[in-house]
Amino acid sequence: MKKINKLIIALFLLLSASTTYAQVNNVPVLADSLTLSGIMNQVITNYPLLKKADKELIAIDAKIGLTKTAYLPNVDFSSSYTQVGPPNKIPFGKDAAGNVKYVQLFPDNIYNATFSVNENVYDFGKTKNNIAFDVKNKEMVQLTVEQAKQRLSMAVMSNFYGISFLQEAIRIKDDQLKNLNDHLQFVQKKVDTGSATKYDILTTKVRISVIENAKTDLQTALQIQVSQLNSFIGKPQSNNIVLKKEINVQQLVPSVDSLCNVAFANRNEMKMAIKKEEISKSRLDIIKVQNNPSVNAFASGGFKNGYLDNNMQDMASLNFAVGVGFKVPIFDANRSKYLKIQANADMEGNQQETELTRRSITNEVVESRANALSALKKVKQSELQLQQASQAYELAEVNYKVGVITNLDLLDSYTSLSESKLALFKTKIDYAVNIQRLKIALGEKIY
């Protein structure tokens, strides 16, 4: 019993996944045919955290589009009507009858309609560098999303194998209970014939009680793990789950050097570190051109009154205005100087982070490969142990029937056989998990 508890505790330490509650609708799940790949596909497609990340990417695309609008002209239309009073008039000679003539400077009713166009002709790289900076930020977010998918897949995988182990452990406990109950009937017959004592019956019943308690603990742990998996796939907590066994043991683990080269090329962490260098360089490029001059053109045209004809009378007419503007920053209070120092320091810091990431990836690859090889060795040892335990139990049954060993010895032998079966299954799970972790260390997608 102590060995079984230790196996369960070790597995939960290895495969613990944080409980994340989510609400995902319309996810088809077949209770008797869930596979690891099928579960991962459902989670990656429907998990709220990843859907939120998709919306963030849409917002970033809008940000890039907004930056690109600097290349486009601003066009607007305006119109107005104004009534002016009292009339602004000045005397201007006399007519033939001797009456004073007046010239009205502004009409009583003023109306205007105008189209205006303003275009940024050239800004010496400002907009171009801003767009490049936004694009690199989007690529960084995409890498972050991929990393989140990988971590989420790892949690789902741990949960999946945790359920697989518990389901197999419960099945083994059921086999133990059936065997012990059959053995109890056999012992009772021996007691009736006088070839066994009530002590043998009591020891057998004690073993049955211990197995039933262990099964209860396993069922409770399974309920918790199933609840977590239902949270991942968005199903009600009462939804029952039975998983397909997907414990495949491979035999080949490549060398460290080849694995490290693959990891450097594929790991999102390395890509993100390099992308940070590129972003810091883009930020420096923006700072370098922020004081560059800019050229813009403008034009407007419309229809309005307020013009005087040859007889000094108000008239309406088409009108236009066209021009070019040129702006040169002269002094920015040394802001660009200090911004450049800051950007250069960030870029150099990001270069060191890239090197640190490279070393960390190397350590992860070496550790994951070593754990995978160790797990593979344990699988082979557990297979041999199970074979030996099976042979020992067969001999124990024969010896018990002829009276060479006691009932307690026979029960111990069967307990060892059951623990060997569970230990072999656990080592296979450990190997499968370590292979997946090695793939993650190499930057391979496990979803």
Q: What is the arithmetic mean of pLDDT over 286-313?
A: 80
Angle at 140 between CA 138 and CA 144, to 5 degrees: 115
The pLDDT-based confidence of 14 (bands split at 50, 70, 90) is very low
Range with the largest mean pLDDT of 114-118, 191-195, 251-255: 114-118
Range with the largest mean pLDDT of 34-48, 104-118, 302-316: 34-48
Q: What is the arithmetic mean of pLDDT over 20-37?
A: 48
Q: What local confidence, expressed as pLDDT, does residue 10 receive?
A: 42
How far apart are the C-alpha atoms of 112 and 161, rounded to whole Å? 76
Q: Which residue type occupies 303?
A: F
Look at the block and give the residue holding tokens 């742990």.
Answer: 221
Q: What local confidence, expressed as pLDDT, does residue 187 receive?
A: 86
**DSSP element (H, E) containing 120:** strand 109-122
Q: What percent of the chain has pLDDT over 90?
A: 28
- Of 139, 136, 130, nearest to 285 (Cα)? 130
> Domain boundaries in the chain?
2-76+124-294+332-441
Provide the mean pLDDT of the chain: 83
Handedness of CA 36, 39, 42, 47 (dihedral sign): negative
User: Residue 355 pLDDT > 90, yes or no?
Assistant: yes
**DSSP element (H, E) containing 316:** strand 314-327
Per-residue pLDDT tens over the stretch 364-420: 999 999 998 999 899 999 999 999 999 999 999 899 888 888 888 888 898 999 999
How far apart are the C-alpha atoms of 153 and 37, rounded to whole Å? 10
Looking at per-residue pLDDT, the higher value among 94 and 425 belongs to 425
Per-residue pLDDT tens over the stretch 275-294: 999 999 998 998 888 888 88
How far apart are the C-alpha atoms of 294 and 325, rounded to whole Å? 8
Q: Which residue type occupies 355?
A: E
The pLDDT-based confidence of 311 (bands split at 50, 70, 90) is low
Q: What local confidence, expressed as pLDDT, does residue 420 receive?
A: 93
User: Residue 12 pLDDT > 60, yes or no?
Assistant: no
Looking at per-residue pLDDT, the higher value among 313 and 413 belongs to 413
How far apart are the C-alpha atoms of 162 and 40, rounded to whole Å? 15
State phi, psi for 165 to the nearest 5 degrees.
-65, -45
User: Residue 54 pLDDT > 80, yes or no?
Assistant: yes
Q: What percent of the chain has pLDDT over 70?
A: 88
How far apart are the C-alpha atoms of 24 and 50, rounded to whole Å? 12
Q: What local confidence, expressed as pLDDT, does residue 95 receive?
A: 73
Q: Which residue type occupies 159?
A: N
Q: Which two tokens stand for residue 37?
A: 């790949």
Look at the block and give the residue holding tokens 């039933």.
Answer: 212
Q: What local confidence, expressed as pLDDT, does residue 219 receive?
A: 92
DSSP single-letter state for residue 367? H
- Of 415, 283, 321, 314, nearest to 109 (Cα)? 314
What is 2-76+124-294+332-441's CATH number? 1.20.1600.10
- Of 438, 426, 433, 265, nearest to 367 (Cα)? 438
Per-residue pLDDT tens over the stretch 404-420: 888 888 888 989 999 99
User: Residue 120 pLDDT > 80, yes or no?
Assistant: yes
The pLDDT-based confidence of 258 (bands split at 50, 70, 90) is confident
Give the global pTM: 0.70
Mode of pairing for the β-strands spanning 294-308 and 109-122: antiparallel
How far apart are the C-alpha atoms of 283 and 133, rounded to whole Å? 7
**DSSP element (H, E) containing 122:** strand 109-122
